Amino acid sequence: MHEAAETLLDELTERYVVDRREAKEPVGPEPGAEVVRTVRLVPRSPAAGPLSIAFTDFPGVVLRLGRWFLEPLPDCGCDDCGEDPALLVTDLRARVAAHVEGGLWERVRRGLTSSWLETRLIGSGLRTSRQAPIEAAEARAARREGFAAPVQWAPWPLRAP
């Protein structure tokens, strides 16, 4: 997964107008693995959503798209699950392609007793949506930043040929 993710990041950096930042910060709750390093691509258009890939010592990756879409690859990693590395790479590329083409939608929704975050990712052959509870402080911050209404991230700007 590390090699495939590194190749994908290099391709994205060459094709799109983005700033590339490297650190050793997690992108979210890591599933029992320590982060070796994190690469974050931030489009120079503020309407386009960021992308982060955390490389774990598993060796796997954790993909973060926009503000809340989080996907560990592989999801489990135990021998019984036997996740196919080729399929994981295909999933990684499909999710990233949907995001850079403007297919990620996010928002915070208020409930009676708490708030929820919602994400939808739609791309070629891909349609996934998720809901999860969100802490009150993060929900307030997200609403201040415009996430009370649905936010659809714009496509990433292409580099001039």
Claim to verify: residue 108 and residue 87 sit in the same structural domain: no
User: Using one digit for the tens of pLDDT, what is the confidence trace for 100-144?
Assistant: 999 999 999 988 889 999 999 999 999 999 999 999 899 989 989
Q: How far apart are the first and last CA of the chain?
A: 30
Query: Nearest to residue 92, comparing CAs of 58, 114, 69?
Result: 69
119 within some domain: yes
Claim to verify: residue 118 and residue 93 sit in the same structural domain: no
User: Using one digit for the tens of pLDDT, what is the confidence trace for 54-63?
Assistant: 998 877 999 9
| 3-state SS class at 60 | coil
Claim to verify: residue 85 and residue 125 sit in the same structural domain: no
Contact (CB, 8 A) for 61 and 83: no
Claim to verify: residue 54 and residue 67 sit in the same structural domain: yes
Q: What is the pLDDT of residue 111?
A: 80
pLDDT, mean over the chain: 90
77 within some domain: yes
Claim to verify: residue 28 and residue 94 sit in the same structural domain: yes
Q: How far is it, in rounded angstroms, from Cα 19 to Cα 75?
A: 28
Claim to verify: residue 34 and residue 58 sit in the same structural domain: yes
Q: What is the pTM of this model?
A: 0.89
104-110 and 151-152 beta bridge pairing? antiparallel
Claim to verify: residue 96 and residue 137 sit in the same structural domain: no
Claim to verify: residue 88 and residue 108 sit in the same structural domain: no
Q: What is the pLDDT of residue 6?
A: 97
Res. 23 pLDDT band, cuts 50 70 90: confident
Task: Tell me the average pLDDT across 59-80.
Answer: 84
Query: Which domain range does residue 135 map to?
Result: 104-152
